[in-house]
Chains A and B, each alone.
Chain A
Amino acid sequence: MILSLNYHNVRSKRPLILGVCFVLLLASALLALLTGAYPISLSEVVNVILSKFGLSLIEVPDEKMAVLWTIRLPRVLLAILVGGALAVAGASLQGLFRNPLVEPAIIGVSSGSALFAVIMIVFSGTIGWQLQSIMGVFALPFAAFIGGLLNTFLAYRLASKGGKTDISILILAGVAINALSAALIGLVIYYGDDNAIRNFTFWSLGSLGGASWTKLYIAGTLVLLSSVIIMSFPRSLNALAIGESEAFHMGVNVQKVKYVVLFFSALAVGAGVSVTGAIGFVGLVVPHLVRMVLGSDHHTLLPVSFLTGGILLLISDVLSRIIVAPAELSIGIITAILGAPFFIYILMNFKQKRITV
């Protein structure tokens, strides 16, 4: 068992901890830029990035430029943003529900987003068209967000009673909601033609293969914005972690914080899912690891979770690209292999002694 440091100790070391995480994130990003079907060396990576700022040292062939700039770089940035957002959404939902087992994929946020994204794509000629004409490129992430929000509130309503959520009911509600969403995704895909819609595997296990600058600007902005907004409520989440009435007496606007966290978690996850499909376990594993090492002060927990989530998804993406190269594994397979045993481990601990968030 790793000893948690106390609040004060961690707070004073926060710049150092964030610095270390940031360096690790950059190292992972570099590793991800160097890996792939097309061999690219470190000096070429550096040169391509420099040349975009007009400082090229050596001539890099156009092909390498294209692969790095139009395929790998957006993919790496998407991995960082989506991984970070999943981890922050997981951490804040765990704080909100005062429950360490809550995770966007487990309670059905991700599958709800995937379902609405699929509906939007398949029926883009009918329902979707009106939304598209109003919202343009934001229609798809918006639809995914609505789906995620719907499932979040459904899970929350089913499991909450008098400001307390029953964990076993919440997990079971998640099971039921996920099963229903998956079934409906399958049903909707049947009506779509193969070209318009990505396959069922994509929506249920995710992939970062479709990353492009356009998608990054659209979904990435929403994902980053939502994560930053959630990260700006550490004090309230600290208070909420003690209890809702306690938080209320400490002067926290409990209802507001609750809705902001639910709303922006759904937006972060939904916008991410609309581009990458549903990726599980990141939001469960990352906040847990961070809490084990650094304790549960949200001032540290949220930003460190964001950086660690980015690292985890980058490493998972690298693995998904090299294990069955030149083909690719769904990234959700990797995150599940890493995350599911961890989930079981938490459950075993949960039986022995009530872990508090």
Chain B
Amino acid sequence: MKRFIALFLISALLLSCGSKSSESTQQEEVYSSKKIITAGGTITEIVFALGHGDEIIATDRTSTYPASMQSLPSIGYRNQIQAEGILSLGPDMILVEEGYLNDDVLLQLQNSGKEVHVFEKPLDKSSSISLIESVGQLFKEEGNSKKLVDDLEQDFSRLEALKTNDKRSPEVIFIMSRGPETVFLAGRETFADAIIQLAGGKKSPVDFEGIKPLTPEALAAINPEYILLFESGWKASGGKDGLKAIQGITETEAWKKDQLIAMDGHYLSGFGPRLGKAAIELFEKTHP
């Protein structure tokens, strides 16, 4: 018994000397140029739109806009990204979309003493605006960020006008195909549900949240008027001929009327400065 007590005392001692991680929040008066690494396409796009794209030294695979970003060194994609890979590129500042990296990786980055900023992933107009504003504050670019927000507001006024003139509300579903047997369908609380509703479509017909695998026959049961995909998925499946292999897809109204829509993944799901334009484009495609 004594042995146990001694061991527990030792372990208590070990625990008590745990290190406290210090988070550096630097508040500077003037923004000075830094070497930046971004993780998340929307943040990359905003940094670029604010005029600081030339400071980005590396970014992740979802940062496809503007096209010049694709030629930068890549840190990888989502949960494959390792902290060591990011730090080995020698950034001064790391800008991360919330939930994009593994929690462990984010913690390692924060503990490395680098300047790390985490931004909420926008899923509607107001969170897009606040993201643009908070990135603007970080770069001391309030003037430019105000301009971006004004443009976004203008796009939305146009969208509202379009919706007032055409009150139809089609059923649009978003799918990701991983081969003919596996189809992922976007449910509630997803970027797809949000942008489809912005573009005048109906709320997602399924009662689950997130993007989940779907039994193929369910496609025929939902019977959407429009099927929305990412361009990358459209190409990977081999276009319309390739998608034919998906069980139940040929039974849908969308297929019969040839109403399959492919749009750029980041443009559609980014919810950045071009959110209004993407919503207008989707509206026009679903309201012929």
Contacts and interface: CB of A to CB of B under 8 A. Distances in A.
A217 B108 CA distance: 15
Interface residues of A, number: 36
Contact of A217 (B15, B80, B111): B15
Interface in A56-115: 62-63, 65-67, 70-72
B236 interface: no
B79 A199 contact: yes
B111 A213 contact: yes
Contact of B108 (A37, A62, A70, A228): A70
A327 B21 CA distance: 27
Nearest to B83: A71
A341 interface: no
Interface stretch (B84-92, B168-176, B280-288): B84-92
B114 interface: yes
A78 B271 CA distance: 40
A221 B112 contact: no
Contact of A63 (B80, B82, B87, B103): B87
A214 interface: yes
Contacts of B79: 199
Interface string A32-44: 0000111100000
A71 B108 contact: yes
Contacts of A132: none
Contacts of A326: 76, 82, 85
B104 A66 contact: no
A277 B62 CA distance: 28
Interface of A: 36-39, 62-63, 65-67, 70-72, 190, 193-195, 198-199, 209-214, 217-218, 221-222, 224-225, 228-229, 232, 326-328
Q: Which of A36, A38, A210, A224 is packed against the most chain B CB atoms within 10 Å?
A: A38
B113 A66 contact: yes
A210 B102 contact: yes
A61 B116 CA distance: 18
Range class of the B interface residue count: 20 to 34
Contacts of A65: 113
B161 interface: no
A263 to B, nearest CB: 12
Nearest to A198: B102
Contacts of A193: 210
Contact of A225 (B7, B83, B88, B212): B7
A24 B248 CA distance: 60
Interface in B1-37: 3-4, 7-8, 11, 14-15, 18-19, 21
Closest 8 CB pairs of A and B: A210-B104, A66-B112, A38-B88, A195-B99, A70-B111, A217-B18, A37-B84, A37-B85
A208 B76 CA distance: 19
Nearest to B7: A225
Contacts of B15: 217-218, 221
A212 B87 contact: no
Contact of A213 (B7, B19, B104): B19
Contacts of A72: 84
B59 to A, nearest CB: 15
Contact of A38 (B11, B84, B210): B84
Interface string B104-123: 11011001111000000000
Given A37-B85, A63-B90, 6 more contacts: A39-B88, A67-B84, A198-B102, A212-B107, A213-B18, A217-B15
Contacts of A66: 87, 111-114
B156 to A, nearest CB: 29
Given A195-B99, A198-B102, A326-B76, A212 B108 contact: yes
A74 to B, nearest CB: 9
A36 B87 CA distance: 12
Interface in B251-274: none
A98 B14 CA distance: 35
Contacts of A198: 102
B85 A221 contact: no
A225 B6 CA distance: 11
Given A70-B111, A195-B99, A326-B76, A37 B82 contact: yes
Contact of A232 (B3, B18, B87, B99): B3
